[in-house]
Structure 1
Amino acid sequence: MKLDIPAGDFAGYIFDLDGTLVDTMPLHYRAWDAAMRQVGLQCPLDEELFYSLGGVPTLRVAELIAAHYQLTIDAHAVFDHKEALFSELQKDAQLIEPVVAFARRIALTHPVSIASGGPRAIVRATLELTGLATLFERNRVVTADDVVHGKPAPDMFLLAAQRMGVSPEKCLVFEDAEPGMRAAEAAGMKWVRVPSRASKPARP
């Protein structure tokens, strides 16, 4: 994997978690597929639909998937079931080494933070299980629980910048999915696309 790092005098670095630092997206897919089948989905969950929602807050993903398949659901119940299923799979998550190596290197000289669309408990568990928790100060881990509007709104990235004490235009974002890239642009930040199953060619 080659990361295309743009030129710039960046003072802070913000990383998405799932699909960017940790290869959890296939595990999330399995959990969503099982959870949606429990509430009436009669076919395999469409992978293109799932990956197009990368970075979107989990509760909103439940609502969007249900709307796509015209299912009537209790979004909060599906949210809880999906996260319980994912928790059982988390131990199988693997690091995306090129991105993690960059994060470890840059953290020696610059502030780094997480901006993830997952709920706080799941994000913290992923960081702990993968050994990444020590890399990111606790108050620099921004999750869907910390903002009103998740990606593609810029709120997560703006809060991460604030917590690092860095102006938004001095931040560089690492993302694997279109909603996160749109959120970075809305925050006035440059971004690096992490190639993954979730990624499609996006605007520079």
Structure 2
Amino acid sequence: MKGIIFDFNGTMFMDSDLHEAAWLHLIQKYSENQMTADDILKNIHGKTNDVILRHFISAELADDQVEKLADEKEAYYRKLVLASPGHNEFTKGLKDVLDYAKKEQIPMTIASASPRVNIDFYFDYLKLGDWFDYDKIVYHTGEFPGKPAPDIFLVAAKKIALDPKNCLVVEDSYSGLQAAQNAEIGTIVAIDPFGKNQSVFTAEGLAQDGIIQNSTTFIPTYLK
């Protein structure tokens, strides 16, 4: 392992519950479709907004409708973040990991299905610029297919000038772990803070290098 690619939501920042709440709010407002636990695992987390909206609301949505609805969802989500005192810091142990990687000059970046507006929000809210080069962050632009396609991790590896086989990916989502495998990432670590998805990840061989609950043991396990 020579470099690290982090997913962001539910990995670096434990906000999965807020994304789920924001999607539930939007889907109930514009559709009669239901969002099951399996949907949350396989059709929400890790997916891009256009894919989610066309799955749950209408496959016939025009691009401008998708953009408008996605903006509404993300604005509602950011409002939830700011109103929640329990969502104002990194995953437990992660700051130590970031500090260590920076000190050891380990190349690292973020590969997220989030849109740019959210990345800008995170850079301000969590001071990501202390550890990450903004220009090396990969986020959803519509220029390549989202997870589980491998593209996002291939682009991220290229941004830190590494072969995917020399990268470690940390992911929390079903589709994200599939994407990492499809990109032939060398080391793939799943994070599952509440143990909800461990059985699925294990059964489907998606967490080939381990499942962690937080980042407190990450340095001795993966970086030394």
TM-score tier by shorter-chain length is 0.7 to 0.9
Q: Is 2:85 the counterpart of 1:90?
A: no
Q: Distance in 2 between matches of 1:14 and 1:147?
A: 19
Shift of 1:180: 0.8
| Paired position in structure 2 for 1:138 | 134
Q: Is 2:36 the counterpart of 1:46?
A: yes
Q: Distance in 2 between matches of 1:33 and 1:146?
A: 23
| Paired position in structure 2 for 1:183 | 179
Shift of 1:37: 1.5
Letter paired with 2:39: L
Shift of 1:111: 0.8
Q: Distance in 1 between matches of 2:95 and 2:40?
A: 24
Which residue, out of 159, 163, 174, partners 1:163? 159
Q: Distance in 1 between matches of 2:72 and 2:176?
A: 25
Q: Distance in 2 between matches of 1:193 and 1:49?
A: 19
| Paired position in structure 2 for 1:29 | 20
Shift of 1:120: 1.0
SS in structure 2 at match of 1:113: strand
Q: Distance in 2 between matches of 1:106 and 1:18?
A: 20
Structure with the greater relative contact order (CA < 8 A, sep ≥ 6): 1 or 2?
1
Residues 105 and 135 of structure 1: is their aligned pair in 2 closer, same or farther, counting only changes over 3 Å?
A: same
Q: Distance in 2 between matches of 1:111 and 1:118?
A: 21
Q: How many residues align?
A: 191
Q: Which shifted more, 17-26 or 92-101?
A: 92-101
Q: Distance in 2 between matches of 1:180 and 1:100?
A: 22
Q: CA RMSD in A?
A: 2.1
Residues 196 and 41 of structure 1: is their aligned pair in 2 closer, same or farther, counting only changes over 3 Å?
A: farther
Shift of 1:146: 6.4
Gaps of 5+ in 1: 1-9
Letter paired with 1:131: K
| Maintained 8 Å contact 2:54/2:60 | no
| Maintained 8 Å contact 1:157/1:183 | yes
Matches within 5 A, 1:53-64: 53-64=44-55
